[in-house]
Homo-oligomer: A and B are copies of this chain.
Amino acid sequence: MAKPKKTWFAILGLLSWRPMSGYEIKKFVENALSFFWSESYGQVYPTLKALVDAGLAKKLPRDGLGSRRQRYSITERGKRELAKWLSSPSEPPKSRNEFELKFFLNSSRPQKHNLKLVEEYRSQQQELLKDFLESEKLLKIAVRNDALPEELLESMPEIGDSDNQQLTVFYLTLRHGIHAARARIAWCNEVLSFLQS
């Protein structure tokens, strides 16, 4: 393994939670991790194949008769490689934030445009925060009671059989998103009052 590929470990890491199929992996990332991760089908299926070839994952027999799903599980070697990667330092993210770029480049134009831009951004972030807080409420209950509320299962069926430690990490990761969204909203308010003064 020359350079560790993030997609490899993202998928391997999900398999370390429990065996999953390509479709499940895609949906899980999309529904539950979208605020800090993304994968496309064009990545997921080839990567699963590559993980098997590298001996880090293996195909599980398709259970039942009508089952169309091809599930994969992590191997012992896979676990070791994953553990190694999880302990390695993360490179600081090279973010490319379109909004910030636009805001920055707008300097030579009337400030009215920037105000509109910031207001749009703020309502985007407020929407996001609302969703986060809803999930947070339910996850908090889940962690406390070690049981998943009906509502949570409806909005995120993929976290179905998670244990308490997984739910806790989920909750804490969500807190990261909440802090970030709040910070962005606070910035918007600051900028709006600055520009209007």
Residues of A within 8 A of B (CB): 6, 9-10, 13-14, 16-17, 33, 35-38, 82-83, 85-87, 89-109, 113-114, 117, 120-121, 124, 165-166, 168-170, 172-173, 175-176, 179-180, 182-184, 186-187, 190-191, 194
Contact of A96 among B6, B82, B168 (CB under 8 A): B6
Say whether, besides A96-B37, A103-B172, A109 and B86 are in contact (CB < 8 Å).
yes
Question: Number of copies of this chain in the oligomer?
Answer: 2
Contact of A97 among B37, B89, B184, B194 (CB under 8 A): B37
CA distance A182 to B184 in the complex (A): 11
A-B contact pairs, 10 of them (CB 8 A): A13-B105, A17-B105, A36-B97, A86-B102, A93-B97, A103-B173, A104-B169, A108-B166, A175-B187, A175-B191
Determine whether the beta carbon of B194 is less than 8 Å from that of A172: yes
Determine whether the beta carbon of A36 is less than 8 Å from that of B96: yes
Say whether, besides A107-B168, A190-B175, A113 and B97 are in contact (CB < 8 Å).
no
Determine whether the beta carbon of B169 is less than 8 Å from that of A103: yes
Determine whether the beta carbon of A38 is less than 8 Å from that of B96: yes
Q: For A10, give the chain B residue with the smallest CB separation.
A: B101
Determine whether the beta carbon of A90 is less than 8 Å from that of B121: yes
Q: For A114, give the chain B residue with the smallest CB separation.
A: B169
Determine whether the beta carbon of A90 is less than 8 Å from that of B98: yes
**Which of chain B's residues have a CB closer than 8 A to the CB of A168?**
107
Contact of A120 among B89, B120, B166 (CB under 8 A): B89
Most buried by B among A17, A109, A113, A182: A109
Say whether, besides A104-B170, A191-B172, A98 and B109 are in contact (CB < 8 Å).
no
